[in-house]
Each structure stands twice: as structure tokens, then as C-alpha cells.
């Protein structure tokens, strides 16, 4: 019997800037409403970043997360997943602080350093509200998103004591091998929730062969010790959902990963993307997992043991 498909929704992120879409949630109230709407549409997990409400900059202070964490927890049962990716321009200490303070059920964890090319967006967007937006995109021409072994060890040593589980974000094959290293060292434990990321410049592409390659590599390295999920960046979002779900993967959507619903049409909300992903999954004759089912399958500690 095929496991039910866990939908994760990443509601805002740090890559896209407020000028790129009027639907991108920025304030705590907007992020809370976006997350709750995604959960109501079928997302079992919501993946959360915070932003400065004054200009939309990524904000990785624990205080920026507090207002929406409590609201989301009160109003829905979704699993709350806090980023430790933050922004590629932040230190690992900055990036880990929200998860260290709030002790969520899941925290994301990038599994290797990589080029992180955001600058092609400058060809598609010309009008920006804030000076930092085009400057940040241009700076990515010379950006290496640092996730060294020391950085990953720091995150694990800081967060393991809270009994958090991880969404291991793997942007290329080497990241799977890095994760295997930490597994062999006993610093992470199964089931390993592996989010294979496709189509971001600097990582693996979004061709069907790329998806199959990452699945074959993960099967060989981890056997039955992992739970697989797929994420398609940009226009590859829904094709990757369809391909992954047909192959038995869980899926991630959301405005962090893509602003679009189709050629030339911006997604009006995270919930709209979750609804489309759910339609694809159910159209394949599959079912989506509830938050309770996701907690059981991923071995999570439960919402009663978080610090918010």
C-alpha cells in the first residue's frame, strides 16, 4: 500500500522579494494567515521564515517568529517547521537561533555549501520598491551559500538536545553523501526526512533524469531509513510535484519556492498552490496525509513539546 503523501508548504522564504509579487506574505499577520490557509487546503507541514514588516528583508531574529508561531499553533494542527537556512548572507549562528529558542517539531537543515544564483531574476524584474532587493540579487553572482561540515555540526549540536527532527535540504548528490556521513557518525537518526531540491541555479536541475538520479542515490545510501520529498523551484514546481508523487514522493510547494501558478500567472496565495498539488496527488489516485499522520511517519515529538 502506498503511503499517504505529505504536503509541505513553504510560505514566504528569503529568496523572493516583496516587489516580485503582491501576494508574498511579509508581516506576521500575513505569514500566519498564509500558513493557516495552506493547512486548511491540505498541507500537513508549514515551513516558516520571518521578514521585517518595514521593508520585507529576511529577519532571523527569534522575536520576529514569535507572533505568527503562536497564532498558527492556536488556529490549526499543522506541523511547524522553522528554517535554519534563513538567508545565504547570514551566519550559521544567526540562522539557527529561531529553532534553538522555539524548539519546533522540525527544522530545515541545508546539507552542503553551494553557489546560489539569484541574479537571473534581475532580467525578469525591473521595478523594485527597496534598494536592498536588486542589490541582494546582484550580490549572488559572487555568493557561496556556506554550509560547511563545521556549520552543520554546529546546527546539530545546538538543536539535537531539543529533540527536533530535520527537513534535510539536499540540492545535489554530494549533499546526500554529506548526510550519510552525519548518519554514520550518529549525529542524525532515522527516519531521515530528505527534501531533494530541483531547479535552483547552483544545484541539480529539474529534468526527470535528475529526479530519478537523486532517488536512486538516496535509495542506495539510505535504504528504508529515509522519507523522500521533492521540491521544484520556479516553473518546475508543479511538474516536480506530479513526477515525485507518481514515484511515491512527498511534495513541497509554496511561495518560497515559486511565485507562479502557470505561465504569466502569479499564485494568489500559498493555499492555491497547495490546492493544485492536492489535485495532482488525488488525480493520481493517491491520498494526502494529515498532520497526525505526518507526525507518526516522521517520528515527531508532538506540538505539546515545542517552546511556543
The structural domains of the chain, with segments of one domain joined by +, span: 7-305
Q: Summarize pLDDT for 74-119 with one digit per residue, the tens.
A: 999 999 999 999 999 999 999 999 999 999 999 999 999 999 999 9
Name the DSSP letter for residue 114: E
- Using a pLDDT cut of 90, give the percent of the chain over it: 99
Q: With 0-12 CB in 10 A as exposed, 13-18 as middle and 19+ as buried, what is 286?
A: middle
* Res. 1 pLDDT band, cuts 50 70 90: very low
User: H helices within 160-257, ranges in order?
Assistant: 173-184, 208-222, 237-246
The pTM (predicted TM-score) of the whole model is 0.97
Q: Summarize pLDDT for 106-118 with one digit per residue, the tens.
A: 999 999 999 999 9
| Phi and psi angles of residue 167, each rounded to the nearest 5 degrees, phi first | -95, 100
Say which CATH topology domain 7-305 has.
TIM Barrel (3.20.20)
Strand bridging mode 114-115 / 144-145: antiparallel
Q: Summarize pLDDT for 148-169 with one digit per residue, the tens.
A: 999 999 999 999 999 999 999 9
Beta bridge partner(s), residue 7: 251
Whether the Cβ atoms of residue 172 and residue 181 lie closer than 8 Å to each other? no
Amino acid at each position: 500500500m502506498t503511503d499517504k503523501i505529505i504536503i509541505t508548504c513553504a510560505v514566504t522564504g528569503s529568496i523572493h522579494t516583496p516587489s516580485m509579487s503582491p501576494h508574498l506574505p511579509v508581516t506576521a499577520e500575513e505569514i500566519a494567515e498564509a500558513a493557516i490557509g495552506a493547512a486548511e487546503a491540505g498541507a500537513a507541514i508549514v515551513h516558516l521564515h520571518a521578514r521585517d514588516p518595514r521593508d520585507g528583508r529576511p529577519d532571523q531574529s527569534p522575536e520576529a517568529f514569535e507572533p505568527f508561531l503562536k497564532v498558527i499553533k492556536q488556529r490549526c494542527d499543522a506541523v511547524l517547521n522553522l528554517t535554519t537556512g534563513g538567508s545565504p548572507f547570514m551566519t550559521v549562528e544567526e540562522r539557527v537561533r529561531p529553532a534553538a529558542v522555539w524548539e519546533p517539531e522540525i527544522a530545515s537543515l541545508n546539507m552542503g555549501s553551494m553557489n546560489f544564483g539569484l541574479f537571473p531574476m534581475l532580467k525578469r524584474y525591473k521595478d523594485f520598491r527597496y534598494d536592498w532587493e536588486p542589490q541582494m540579487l546582484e550580490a549572488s553572482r559572487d555568493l557561496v551559500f556556506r554550509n560547511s561540515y563545521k556549520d552543520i555540526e554546529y546546527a546539530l549540536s545546538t538543536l539535537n538536545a531539543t529533540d527536533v527532527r530535520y527537513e534535510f535540504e539536499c540540492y545535489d548528490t554530494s549533499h546526500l553523501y554529506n548526510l550519510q556521513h552525519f548518519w554514520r557518525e550518529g549525529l542524525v537518526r532515522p527516519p531521515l526526512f530528505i527534501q531533494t531540491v530541483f531547479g535552483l541555479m547552483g544545484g541539480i536541475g529539474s529534468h526527470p533524469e535528475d529526479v530519478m538520479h537523486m532517488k536512486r542515490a538516496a535509495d542506495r545510501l539510505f535504504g528504508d531509513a529515509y522519507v523522500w520529498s521533492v521540491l521544484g523551484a520556479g516553473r518546475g514546481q508543479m511538474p516536480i510535484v506530479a513526477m515525485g508523487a507518481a514515484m511515491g514522493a512527498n511534495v513541497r510547494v509554496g511561495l518560497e519556492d515559486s511565485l507562479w501558478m502557470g505561465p504569466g500567472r502569479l499564485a494568489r496565495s500559498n493555499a492555491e498552490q497547495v490546492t493544485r498539488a492536492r489535485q495532482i496527488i488525488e488525480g493520481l489516485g493517491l491520498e494526502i496525509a494529515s498532520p497526525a499522520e505526518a507526525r507518526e511517519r516522521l517520528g515527531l515529538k508532538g506540538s505539546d513539546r515545542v517552546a511556543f
